[in-house]
Structure 1
Amino acid sequence: MTDYYAPLGGLPPQTALHTGRAVFTESYAVIPRGVFSDIVTSLLPGWAGMRCWIIARPMTGFSETFSQYVVELRAGGGSEQPETDPEAQAVLFVTHGSLTLVVDGARHSLTSGGYAYLPPSSDWKLYNEGEETARFHWVRKRYEPAPGVERPAAFVTNERDIPPTPMPDTGGAWATTRFVDPSDLRHDMHVNIVTFQPGGLIPFEETHVMEHGLYVLEGKAVYRLNRDWVEVEAGDFMWLRAYCPQACYAGGPGRFRYLLYKDVNRHARLGGVFGR
């Protein structure tokens, strides 16, 4: 079974050294796993038995398209109305436990590795009907319609059912698990899983219009962020604004994997931030 790192909360001891890897710059942020403490959690209206770490939110002048939550849902918890913004679409990705998702009256079981796409204005509900705490990621983005393009439909799948696609000329050292066909223009965001085998790398500095959220699910690596090489490990989150140069070297000893958000398939907006 695939292992996914998920935060457990708590607080560091009073004897802990006050040094860490957290950083927020003009082009990127790193939120290391040690920052996921009890005192930085949020509670949301309409939920029972839930707390979350809000690790990304739209910020003018930085990353402006999405929010991302790491959610902890206790046994018996859930929500009859998780989403209050009718323009928001969502991706859910389960890292621990099991959840019951109800979409337009249809029930779905999401276990570890479970993935759900929920289009805007979906009638969806979420419950933890199991006996242990469930943990999942919730990525939200306001959907941007395009002329002549219909809105995508909801779907539920699991990472284990989708073969990773090796990147060209890498011999499988770098692969992407794609939950949406990249040529499907109905989708204006992708949430994928990227996997590097030990020794795998991004062999150039990617510099592009897409914003990114990268939550490390497994392993460790050194990641190039703008001018800096940064060590990251399972449980860390990297948040990149558009055009932040990036590269990666996964030195091992095990594979390195992260959940990746990016905005895609739409014109660059002119004269202001989308949704304002």
Structure 2
Amino acid sequence: MGYPKDLLVSRAVIKHGSYAIIPPAGLVNNVIPGFEQCKVSILASPKMGASFVHYLVAMEPEGRNTRGFGGAGIETFVYCMAGKIKAHTEAQAAVLEAGGYMYCPPGDKLFLQNLADNETQLILYKQRYEAVEGTQPWVVVGNVNEIAERIYDDMENVKIIDLLPTDLAFDMNMHILTFEPAGSHPFVETHVQEHGAYLFSGEGLYYLDNEWIPVKKGDYIWFGPYVPQAVYAVGREKLSYLYSKDCNRDAAL
């Protein structure tokens, strides 16, 4: 990296327990046991107030996870942004390319291996599963390019894709939300759910805890529970992001 060429500045905004915006320029690599020939950045964790952990992973050729990821009550999710990987549990395997994903239930460990000759880019996620009696989630494999978009809240210029089933066995979901230029949320949301969002494309002005903050492709946003939130898409490109959501469970006492 070398010496800085200008003043040390950052667009990062971290409000512990409330929200965070993390641009790519400030990310550092973390050594995670089991990840070989991988550059791993931890985007969100309980240390900032999140109830989950989100990662950005660049797998070099021959990169892999040899110890498994998750299991023992921890559910996991992997999304392939670019490249090609083999993702598997002990019982099920899939080859994922751009747009491909796999969800693994809390009883399974997820193993990953880069199949590309160059770098593969992944988003990883894990959280502790909250069980409901009589239900059990299952492995889900898919590709967003094979799923039809649906109109979001009766607005033609905003589309959503659901990646996981809405079955009560699942206590989380992943969605891709896409705003055409000038698209926006229909209202400022305030809710118990928290989100982690990685921006695939475009630019926007995000309303977070009574502040308007510019965001763009490559940024990561963590939204804490009950933080007022909404966005306007700005610029010439679609604003699109993958985001996590906890769901299908009551609030604990």
RMSD over equivalenced CA pairs, Å: 1.6
Query: Is 1:178 the counterpart of 2:162 in the alignment?
Result: yes
Query: Is 1:35 the counterpart of 2:26 in the alignment?
Result: yes
Deviation at 1:12, TM superposition (A): 7.7
**Aligned pairs for 1:1-276 within 5 A:** 11=1, 14-26=4-16, 27-36=18-27, 40-59=28-47, 62-63=49-50, 65-83=51-69, 85-148=71-134, 150-171=135-156, 173-182=157-166, 184-270=167-253
Q: Percent identity?
A: 32
Deviation at 1:84, TM superposition (A): 5.2
CA distance in 1, matches of 2:125, 2:37: 19
CA distance in 2, matches of 1:203, 1:240: 18
The amino acid across from 2:216 in the alignment is E
The amino acid across from 1:29 in the alignment is A
CA distance in 1, matches of 2:9, 2:33: 34
Give yes or no for contact 2:199–2:242 (8 Å, CA) kept in 1: yes
Deviation at 1:85, TM superposition (A): 4.5
The amino acid across from 1:154 in the alignment is V
> 1:164-221, CA deviations, whole angstroms, 9 ceiling, x for partnerless residues?
11113212x1111101233x11110111111001110013110000011111111111
Select between 109-118 and 21-30 the one with higher mean Cα deviation.
Answer: 21-30
Give yes or no for contact 2:150–2:160 (8 Å, CA) kept in 1: yes
Quickly say closer, same or farther: Cα 1:239–1:123, change in 2 above 3 A: closer
Quickly say closer, same or farther: Cα 1:156–1:181, change in 2 above 3 A: closer
The amino acid across from 1:31 in the alignment is I
CA distance in 1, matches of 2:186, 2:10: 28
The amino acid across from 1:156 in the alignment is V
Runs of 4+ in 1 over 6 A off after TM superposition: none
Give yes or no for contact 2:70–2:108 (8 Å, CA) kept in 1: no
Unaligned runs of 5+ in 1: 1-10, 271-276
Unaligned runs of 5+ in 2: none
The amino acid across from 2:194 in the alignment is E
Give yes or no for contact 2:85–2:113 (8 Å, CA) kept in 1: yes
Instruction: Report the 3-state secondary structure (helix = DSSP H, G, I; strand = E; otherwise coil) of the residue aligned with 2:186.
Output: strand
The amino acid across from 1:226 in the alignment is D
CA distance in 1, matches of 2:71, 2:93: 22
Deviation at 1:123, TM superposition (A): 4.2
Quickly say closer, same or farther: Cα 1:84–1:237, change in 2 above 3 A: closer
Count of residues in Structure 1 that have an aligned counterpart in Structure 2: 252
CA distance in 1, matches of 2:33, 2:174: 25
Give yes or no for contact 1:52–1:70 (8 Å, CA) kept in 2: yes
Give yes or no for contact 2:70–2:126 (8 Å, CA) kept in 1: no
CA distance in 2, matches of 1:13, 1:220: 29
CA distance in 2, matches of 1:175, 1:258: 11
- TM-score with structure 2 setting the length: 0.94
> 1:196-248, CA deviations, whole angstroms, 9 ceiling, x for partnerless residues?
01110013110000011111111111110011101000000111110000011
